[in-house]
Amino acid sequence: MTSAADLVWEHWRDGRRMAALPEPIRPRTRADGYAVQATLAGRSAYPLFGWKIAATSVAGQRHINVDGPLAGRLFRERVYEPGAEVPFGTNSMRVAEAEFAFRMAADLPPRGEPYVVDEVLDAVATLHPAIEIPDSRYDDFTLVGAPQLIADNACAHYFVLGPATTADWRRMDLVVHPVIGTVSARETRTGKGGHVLGDPRIALAWLVNELSDIGVTLRAGEVVTTGTCIVPLPIAPGDRIRVDFGALGGVDARMGT
């Protein structure tokens, strides 16, 4: 797994792409992909910031040609403050996503019995609006399959975490809650929480159970971003991105070069 993680890390760092991981080091199962991803995390100089979920909608699954969600790690050095300039670089996906993100208040360790949504929510500290700017280290991410995409950190790249909402979100129906994303006043797309596995809270519980299955604890202080609520917004260098979650707040970012 070390050689595969080295190759992914080098391509990510240098803004390069490959057709696929070489056959001798290619992960064959989701478990293999997560083992590569765990080794990749050791390359970061900081404690883990949190987790992301890719492909939380049928459209998202079709987009990367998988049949279900994938978990990835958020590295602290790739997380930006609201309003910050985020490097565009060699990003080939060229999209921004509007997401519900949860910061945890308590550890949720692996166990034999699946976690249910209510007990996962009991372990949440705060809810945040967020922007994810994904990318892949493959020439064509639709061709490589889930194990290699997991090894590629589920297309994680950059992340912008908005301020914790002051609204009483636990009493709100996040399924129908509207979300609006805008790029440079050029394009606006709308969505809702229900586009994320039917409910962003269900997506959060999915992530907890996915980590439990691979023996990983979701830790207090870590952030989980639950997948895009809108059709991803096309972006280009210099664009300004705004995602608006109404009563829950919003967050902005600027794309650099």
- Angle among Cα 101, 141, 235 to the nearest 5 degrees reads 55
Give me the amino acid identity at 82: P
Q: Could you please state the CATH topology (level 3) that the domain comprising 2-255 is classified under.
A: Fumarylacetoacetate hydrolase; domain 2 (3.90.850)
- pLDDT tens digits for the chain (257 residues)? 899 999 999 999 999 999 999 999 999 999 999 999 999 999 999 999 999 999 998 778 888 889 899 999 999 999 999 999 999 999 999 999 999 999 999 999 999 999 999 999 999 999 999 999 999 999 999 999 999 999 999 999 999 999 999 999 999 999 999 999 999 989 999 999 999 999 999 999 999 999 999 999 999 999 999 999 999 999 999 999 999 999 999 999 999 99
CA angle 61, 93, 164 (to 5 degrees): 80
CA 240 → CA 111, 137, 222, 255, distances in Å?
A: 43, 24, 27, 6
Could you report the per-residue pLDDT of 55-74, keeping only the tens digit for each?
998 778 888 889 899 999 99
SS3 (DSSP) at 194: helix
Strands 187-192 and 95-104: unpaired
What are the distances in angstroms from CA 190 to CA 51, 53, 149, 178, 255? 24, 20, 27, 7, 21
Question: What's the CA gap between 185 and 182, in Å, rounded?
Answer: 6
Q: In the block, which residue shows the tokens 């300004």?
A: 240
Give, for 130, the enclosing helix (H) or strand (E): strand 124-133
Nearest to 219 by CA among 13, 47, 78: 47
DSSP lists the bridge partners of residue 228 as 99
| Tens of pLDDT, residues 1-13 | 899 999 999 999 9
DSSP state of 153: G
- For the chain, give every domain's residue range: 2-255
- The answer to whether residues 95 and 58 touch, using CB atoms and an 8 Å cutoff, is no
pTM: 0.97
Q: Are 125 and 104 in contact (CB under 8 A)?
A: yes
Six token digits for residue 48: 């883990």
**Overall residue count recorded for the chain in this entry:** 257
Find the radius of gyration of the CA atoms of the chain. 17
